[in-house]
Structure 1
Amino acid sequence: MPSRRHLLVAAALAAAGAQAFAADSRPIRLVVPYPPGGPLDTIARALAERVKDSLGLVVVENRPGAGGNLGADIAARSAPDGHTIVMGAVATHAINPWLYARMPYDPIRDFTPITLVAQVPNVLVMNAQTAARLKIATLADLVAYARRNPGKLNYGSGGNGSAGHLAGEMFEASAGLFIVHIPYAGAAPAQLALLGGQVDFNFDNLAAASANIRSGRLKALAVTTARRSSVMPELPTAIEAGLPGFDISTWFGLFGPAGLPRETTLRLNKAFTDALATPELKARMATLMVEPAPTTPEQFAGFVKSELAKYRQVVKLAGAKID
């Protein structure tokens, strides 16, 4: 058992580290590896505002490119002093390492996980007129129709290797179906194709699809996460609807460079998880249909490893590659 003297020395060293971090007046650079305006960017800016009292100035810097790899690599190459962090995502840390032939960083070795920030439910949505015409009211109905009519149904996505494409591949494999994939140049064109009846169903972001679900233009069959969404709790999960183990979502969280000191990691974790617990930020996230998901650094590290392993299989199944 450590002596009282050893405990006092350890406490003094931790306090000294925190004071040194606080005494450094440089702002924290929070890299967002995507363009401004999306839910990830909006939440990053809201977090930056909420943590200024505990961490000082946090400057959000959008560095899009290469599917998020450019911004993530900037953080990976930064000094591990707590002054550069990145809002990584399922793409940068779980999908892209298997999708891109050449990666500038290792998603595990080159980063220090700080906390998962949020999960965004995805939803399987059909064109409402198509669903009515084919008498499809549930996910079980869709699976039954697809089994009776292999190759007759199609789904759209934002492109080969996109989250919607990978969800579709996972759906086909889980249910033993053959469905035609139609890639589009982005999520917005894919959604327009669904609304226009050019495709039968999509796996879409719940926030992006919600207005059309509520208006009746889209028929929502199931969310793709293991738990129901707090925003639309009436929607069953794909697991509840008969697809065991089907769990796929969009998520994002904070990482520092590899070698970030433990005390700095914990300080950042506390500041951001405390911010995620505030009523104001919860309300802001609810308007975006984003669900807070704060974790410890260790929980986040384990989550990233499991997601990386899962998407290795999904990307292999899809056969998608970007040179």
Structure 2
Amino acid sequence: MRWRAISAPRRSRPEGEGPAMLRRILLAAALLPFGVQAQEAPFPSRPITLLVGFAPGGGTDILARLIAPKLSEELGQPVAVENRTGGGGTIAVVATARAKPDGHTVTLGTVSNNVQVPLAMKAPPFDPLRDVTPLTQVASVPLVMTVPASSPARDVQGFVALAKANPGGFNFASNGVGTSQHMAAELFMLATGTRMVHVPYRGSGPASIDLAANVVQVNFDTLSTVLPHIRGERLRGLAVTTRARSDQLPSVPTMIESGLAGYDIDLWYMLFGPAGLPDAVVLRWSEALGRALRDETLRTRLRESGFDAKGGTPAEAAALVRADIARYGEVVRRAGISLD
């Protein structure tokens, strides 16, 4: 038997096939490697925005502008400091949480706007554990109880006597409800039995100006913020809030030395990025900041401004955030602090 070959039936060419379609396929194939390279561009590939949640002249702003040039040198891209004030510093954190998770937008957060203020809010605009990524602790600083240079109070006990003689007649400043300055004042009132009126500001800069003018009578602000005013004799430091005295103000006693047993508060600063940052970007940031903080010139400038340079790993930074959420949650409850 002879088998007959069966040829395939002819079919008409569908619209779109032919030379034109072939050219499009070849062009797409040729461009594919460039598309992959664009998606995989190593961090950083463009200028970086460093958000600050408080007004110019405050401790966070001072620190950001001190570290930005060194970070730019380490990362090979410009690092621009941008102030996004309001909401007790939380506006900058929210903007970071909503940014593209590629490492080009970060915030210099603090225990105040990343932990304490959200704890005081009934409906916080972000979750401090889920919505941002801790990168590295940058520095810490004590708070200083300060009064106008014209104040008759020469020490903590002298101020307590004045406040008790005029209950509700003294105003204290802060950077907003629930901030470190606010909590420090609330703990002071709890410890001394005094009663003062809270006057929140949008940042340490304007608060210090009004304090020097005696618009408010006391503040518990960062050493870096008040140091120039104390040296310029516009403000008087009554006590530092940490267990040890500050090298920058060696004659100013601690709160504990002034009779307030167990009073120990400092304020930390930390770099945060959005949630979902790739591990490689987190590592790049941590390494760059670590190298910057080991630079002796920068460390000297930080120390002269009242900051204690830190560093460490992202895991250590995250552990500090978790620990202080637990610690200050109890403070908020005891002091009855609430931000409606």
Q: Describe the superposition over 1:16-52 as per-residue Cα deviations: whole angstroms up to 9, x where unpaired.
A: xxxx977456226333143673343343344332234
For 2:141 and 2:292, the matched residues in 1 are separated by 18
Shift of 1:316: 3.4
* Correspondence for 1:104 among 110, 125, 129: 125
Counterpart residue identity of residue 326, structure 2: A
Q: Secondary structure at the match of 1:115?
A: strand
* Correspondence for 1:55 among 71, 75, 78: 75
Counterpart residue identity of residue 292, structure 1: A
The answer to whether structure 1 residue 237 and structure 2 residue 254 are counterparts is yes
Q: Is the 2:43–2:281 contact (alpha carbons within 8 Å) kept by the matching residues of 1?
A: no
Shift of 1:247: 2.4
The answer to whether structure 1 residue 177 and structure 2 residue 196 are counterparts is no
Q: How does 1:138-287 map to 2 (within 5 A)?
A: 138-143=155-160, 145=161, 149=165, 151=167, 154-158=170-174, 159-173=176-190, 175-183=191-199, 185-186=201-202, 187=204, 190-192=207-209, 194-197=211-214, 199-287=216-304
Shift of 1:268: 1.6
Q: Is the 1:28–1:82 contact (alpha carbons within 8 Å) kept by the matching residues of 2?
A: no
Counterpart residue identity of residue 276, structure 1: L
What is aligned with 1:122?
143
Structure 2 unaligned segments of length 5 or more: list them. 1-38
Q: Describe the superposition over 1:108-160 as per-residue Cα deviations: whole angstroms up to 9, x where unpaired.
A: 122221111122322112345543xxxx54434545x3697472773421354
Counterpart residue identity of residue 208, structure 1: T
Structure 1 residues 207 and 96, CA gap change in structure 2 (3 angstroms):
same
Q: How does 1:44-83 map to 2 (within 5 A)?
A: 44-60=64-80, 62=82, 64=84, 65-83=86-104
Q: Secondary structure at the match of 1:213?
A: helix
What is aligned with 2:45?
26
Q: Is the 2:53–2:109 contact (alpha carbons within 8 Å) kept by the matching residues of 1?
A: no
Structure 1 unaligned segments of length 5 or more: list them. 1-19
Q: Is the 1:146–1:179 contact (alpha carbons within 8 Å) kept by the matching residues of 2?
A: no
Shift of 1:224: 1.2
Structure 1 residues 220 and 111, CA gap change in structure 2 (3 angstroms):
same
- TM-score, reference length from structure 2: 0.73
Number of residue pairs aligned between Structure 1 and Structure 2: 298
Q: Is the 2:163–2:169 contact (alpha carbons within 8 Å) kept by the matching residues of 1?
A: no
- TM-score, reference length from structure 1: 0.76
What is aligned with 1:12?
none
Shift of 1:290: 2.7
For 1:184 and 1:265, the matched residues in 2 are separated by 34
CA RMSD of aligned residues (A): 3.2
Structure 1 residues 280 and 244, CA gap change in structure 2 (3 angstroms):
same
Q: Is the 1:122–1:204 contact (alpha carbons within 8 Å) kept by the matching residues of 2?
A: yes
For 1:163 and 1:319, the matched residues in 2 are separated by 15
For 1:114 and 1:214, the matched residues in 2 are separated by 34
Structure 1 residues 185 and 258, CA gap change in structure 2 (3 angstroms):
closer
For 2:206 and 2:244, the matched residues in 1 are separated by 28
Deviating more after overlay: 101-110 vs 200-209: 200-209
Q: Is the 2:139–2:307 contact (alpha carbons within 8 Å) kept by the matching residues of 1?
A: yes
